[in-house]
Chains A and B, each alone.
Chain A
C-alpha cells in the first residue's frame, strides 16, 4: 500500500524559505491516476490546502499562497517537494503531504504523518 513520509527542517527563520520533501513508497508517483498534494494545519486550527502537482509537473496552488509557493516533482526519486518563501510566524504549522486528488475526483488518501515546522528566530 502507498505510504508517504515528509522530511525537512523543523525550524525556519522568519523571511527565509521553508523546504519540505515527501517520499512516496509502495506506488509510483508517475502512475498518472493521482495528483500529489501539500496541506497544512496551524496548531489548534483547521486544514488549509496549499497546492498539488501532477507527475508531469503541472501545478495548482491556493490563491492565498500562490505568490510564495513552489511545488516540484522528482519522478526518479518518487518524491515531490514544497518550497514556501518569505515565511512568517503565521506559517508555523504541521505540514502534510497526501496522495490526491485523483484525475477524476477530489479526495486525499493516504496522508503522511505530518511534520511540524516552526517559524522563529
Chain B
C-alpha cells in the first residue's frame, strides 16, 4: 500500500495563492471522487478541509478549494493568511486490495 505523493513543502506570501498536489494511481485518486484534504497545526489533530475532491465542510473558508485531473488531486489556498501555515494531507479511497484508505505523505505550508 503506497502513500499518495505530495510535495514535502510549499510556501507563499500573505495574499498569494498556492497549490498542493496529490498524485496517486487509477486505483485510488484517479478512479474515485473520494479525495479528502486535512489541515494539521503543530500538536493538533487533523481537520477536514475538503471532501469528495472539491466539497468544503461547513465553516471552512471558501479560500480553500479542491480539484482533480486524472490521477492528481490538488488543494488550492487563495488569499494566504498566516493562520494557514500548517501541514496538509490528502487521502483517498483505494481499491488496490480490500477496500481501504491511503494518505499522502504530507506537505508543510510556510507563509512567508
Which A residues are closer than 8 A to B by beta carbons?
37, 46-49, 52, 60-64, 96, 101, 105-114
Contacts and interface: CB of A to CB of B under 8 A. Distances in A.
Nearest to A48: B103
B45 A49 contact: no
Given A46-B89, A60-B98, A60-B99, A107 B52 contact: yes
B48 interface: yes
Given A105-B52, A111-B46, A62 B1 contact: yes
A68 B56 CA distance: 36
A49 B99 contact: no
A interface, over-half SS: loop
Given A96-B45, A101-B93, A49 B104 contact: no
Interface residues of B, number: 28
Nearest to B102: A49
Interface string B86-105: 00010111000111111111
Given A63-B98, A64-B1, A109 B103 contact: no
B101 A101 contact: yes
A60 B99 CA distance: 7
B103 A47 contact: yes
B34 A105 contact: yes
